[in-house]
Structure 1
Amino acid sequence: MPRRFLQRYMPRPDTLKRQRSLRFMAPLIADSRLWLLTRRSVANAFSVGIFCALLPIPFQMLAAAIGARLSRCNLALAVGLVWITNPLTMPLIFYANYRLGSLFLDAPVRIAPMRLSIRWLTEQIHDIVPALFLGSLLSAVVLAALANLAIRLIWRWHVSRHWKRRQRRRRARLEAEFDD
């Protein structure tokens, strides 16, 4: 993974510390280990961010920040990846998670009526919630693990390609010097 590419879009810790709304997080933001861009820290940040994004819980960004702190991965990436589930994608992702959970629980899928109501929701909630949480947990674990593996492989491939390119340039430069 190109470190310079990621650094271009990352917020600066000193800028975040100056924001009034984030002052309570100053000790967390000040920890320089949470801003490193290494293969391990980026891969783990993807895992933490995707895991938290796929869980149907409130305060996903806070959960991602705590997860980043515990796993010592890149804080900005972990918190930013939570926005995979934004107001546009959340219904689709959580419905897919619900279907997955229903499949594993061998429970019938509840079809929503044309007009949703609080009454229908309260009557069906005891059937919906277990399937939603199980499907969310399964997809979160699997996709977080796959993201971690994919980032590590992409990073390794990128570094390997960079080294080979440098080797070719050195060889060409040495051949040019030898020919002169």
Structure 2
Amino acid sequence: MPRRLLQRYMPHPDTLRRQRSLRLLAGMTGDPSLWVLSRRSVANAFSVGLFSAMLPIPCQMALAAFGAWLARCNLPLSVGLVWITNPLTMPLIFYGNYRVGTWLMGTQASEAPAHLSTRWVAERMADILPALAVGSVIMACVAALLGNVMIRLAWRWQVSRSWKRRHLRRRRARRDEADE
């Protein structure tokens, strides 16, 4: 992963410490290990963020921040990745989690009415919740594992590609010096 690209979009720890709303977290955001951009910290941040995003719970960002603090991985990436489940994508992702849960539990999925409403969901919550919980935990684990592996592979590919480019530049520079 291009470290400079990630650093360009990440907030600086000092700007977060100056925010009044985040003063309670000043001790946590002051830890330098939460701001490091290394292969391990970014890959683990993807794991924490994707795991938190797949769970149908309130305060996903707080869970991601706490997970980043426990895993000593990149805090802004962990918290930012929670927004994969935004108000537009949340119904699709959680419905997919529910379908995975019903498949794993061997139960029949509830048929949705023609006009889906919060009242219908509230009435069926006892039927929906077990399958949704099982499917969400399984999908959270799968997303965390895949995210971690994919970031590590992409990072490694990027580093090897930059090494090859550097090697070619040096070889050309030596050849140009020899020609002079």
Class of the TM-score when normalised by the shorter of the 2 chains: over 0.9
How far the C-alpha of 1:48 sits from its partner, in A, is: 0.3
What is the identity, as a one-letter code, of the residue corresponding to 1:31? D
Q: Which residue of structure 2 lines up, in the alignment, with residue 12 of structure 1? A: 12
What is the identity, as a one-letter code, of the residue corresponding to 2:22? L
What is the identity, as a one-letter code, of the residue corresponding to 1:160? S
What is the identity, as a one-letter code, of the residue corresponding to 2:133? F
In 2, Cα distance between equivalents of 1:123 and 1:83: 28
Matched residues, percent identical?
Answer: 62
Q: Which residue of structure 2 lines up, in the alignment, with residue 25 of structure 1? A: 25
Q: Which residue of structure 1 lines up, in the alignment, with residue 42 of structure 2? A: 42
Q: Which residue of structure 1 lines up, in the alignment, with residue 52 of structure 2? A: 52
Q: Which residue of structure 2 lines up, in the alignment, with residue 136 of structure 1? A: 136
| Runs of 4+ with >6 A deviation | none
In 2, Cα distance between equivalents of 1:6 and 1:49: 16
Gaps of 5+ in 2: none
* CA displacement 1:128-153 (0-9 Å, x = unmatched): 00100111111110111001000000
Gaps of 5+ in 1: none
**Number of corresponding residues:** 180
Q: Which residue of structure 1 lines up, in the alignment, with residue 174 of structure 2? A: 174
Q: Does 1:102 align with 2:69?
A: no
How far the C-alpha of 1:116 sits from its partner, in A, is: 4.5
In 2, Cα distance between equivalents of 1:143 and 1:9: 23
Change (3 A) 1:176 1:71: same
Secondary structure, aligned partner of 2:124: helix
Q: Which residue of structure 2 lines up, in the alignment, with residue 149 of structure 1? A: 149
